[in-house]
Structure 1
């Protein structure tokens, strides 16, 4: 009866993007985690794609806010409005019963941070709120055999955090959440251009550069793109041609931090689990999995086979959706 009265949801509440899965429908929302607010009236002007497009281009009275930082809620009110607005964008049928929602959260989340996520969801009209650690959700979303006794190593590189976990028999044997991920890569590009070329660019322009020419390992073909910014010496607009070598240098430190986190995972488990991983390899998920050469870099440094998940950007929400749609099978992975 419940399925006719309510549409239950699964959500990847990400630092960079928020994705929503509706039971029986699949992914119904995939938008940037950005809110634009009018400071005079305190009213929300836009959410998601429209708000991101406004970044750095709005009048002084309108500010763009990213409600999440490092994978957790940093602005409770903005997060609540964003969740509510994005759920409404899904154009679901009116709720007769309050929906259940399953939300992916970082593995290193504190009790205070858990409470903020749960309360923000409850205040948007949700009935029950269940939390699943992001690496577990990503592993389920990529069809890793988490029910088996053999170890699986998942590396989920999101916007705010990189989650490294070793999973077997529906449980996490090892996990680490580091606050180095897509945002840190973008920031490293901003800092590099300021330091080495006296050019000031915004974080979303840096993100565009990362996508177009960023790499973690030497590329076979030279990549170039033009970047627009403000000259720090003259204050005037200036353009600069950047290439993959420059951006690889810019991102070197955060890329090393991500690779080092995989090293620590291998040192942190038993010899038997390490043998499983050496045989099965590493699975990359999240937006960071799309960085050119990251798999090659891990393989080069560690000698492990590396696989990128299908559609890595949606791995967490697909996994949370599977937990939602097959709750009796996966309920043991819920952490609250």
Structure 2
């Protein structure tokens, strides 16, 4: 009789952004996977901000404040910070821990058993009673309406912040897959290096990401555009 009050959540725990979806509410969290804390360690130290507000602090803090991404290459690299991140986002979703039933978390295809355990333990610690992992290419295929049970194979390429997942899906399963730990974060790094080597200008990650999103293009034959970039002379 109480089954209807418990909440089931889907989480895309990404290197760059975390998205949480609730069946009855839709998307309830969509924020950067960034955490800011004092004294150089997220374990036992004061957390200052998480998500959008923490990302605004990147590259602008003193030595006593650290701003990091707890995830690297699509998996949890800092367990304490990752757990704090998940707990905070679930709290922002207005789901009390005692009402949180199941969580489905998207993971890269190349994830190890140790990395799987870190994600499951973090979600359980955040209050979930049961945690299920789904490979991100499979989740992406279902999300865009691909017939994953059909006889015709489909290739999915999922480019995230830390990983690029490539998978061929057929008859409800992944036939072959490959996870490259090379994705949009490396694009940001390439832009930073280019600005430094070509224009002798140091720019931060936020500026590089803005250039990528607003001016990046994959076509060779396109009109050149000029735009202003602010940084520090190198």
Pairwise TM-score range, normalised by the shorter structure:
over 0.9
Please name the residue that 1:136 is paired with. Answer: 138
Aligned mates of 1:185, 1:24 — CA distance in 2: 36
1:124-162 Cα distance to aligned partner (Å, 9 max, x none)? 111101000011111111111111011011110000011
Shift of 1:21: 0.5
Aligned mates of 1:114, 1:65 — CA distance in 2: 21
Query: Given that residues 163 and 175 in structure 1 are in contact (C-alpha distance below 8 angstroms), is that contact kept between their aligned partners in structure 2?
Result: yes
Within 5 A, what are the aligned runs for 1:123-202?
123-202=125-204
Please name the residue that 1:290 is paired with. Answer: none
Please name the residue that 1:228 is paired with. Answer: 230
Within 5 A, what are the aligned runs for 1:72-91?
72-91=75-94
- TM-score (norm. length: structure 2): 0.94
Please name the residue that 2:32 is paired with. Answer: 32
Within 5 A, what are the aligned runs for 1:61-100?
61-92=64-95, 94-100=96-102
Query: Given that residues 98 and 127 in structure 2 are in contact (C-alpha distance below 8 angstroms), is that contact kept between their aligned partners in structure 1?
Result: no
Aligned mates of 2:227, 2:7 — CA distance in 1: 44
Query: Given that residues 82 and 122 in structure 2 are in contact (C-alpha distance below 8 angstroms), is that contact kept between their aligned partners in structure 1?
Result: yes
Shift of 1:23: 2.2
Aligned mates of 2:20, 2:221 — CA distance in 1: 35
Confirm or deny that 1:4 pairs with 2:7. no
Aligned mates of 1:3, 1:168 — CA distance in 2: 34
Matched residue count: 231
Query: Given that residues 165 and 174 in structure 1 are in contact (C-alpha distance below 8 angstroms), is that contact kept between their aligned partners in structure 2?
Result: yes
- TM-score (norm. length: structure 1): 0.66
Q: Which has the higher helix share?
A: 1
Return structure 1 stretches of 4+ with deviation > 6 angstroms. none
Q: Which has the higher strand share?
A: 2
SS at 1:140 equivalent: helix
Structure number, greater radius of gyration: 1
Give RMSD over aligned pairs.
1.5
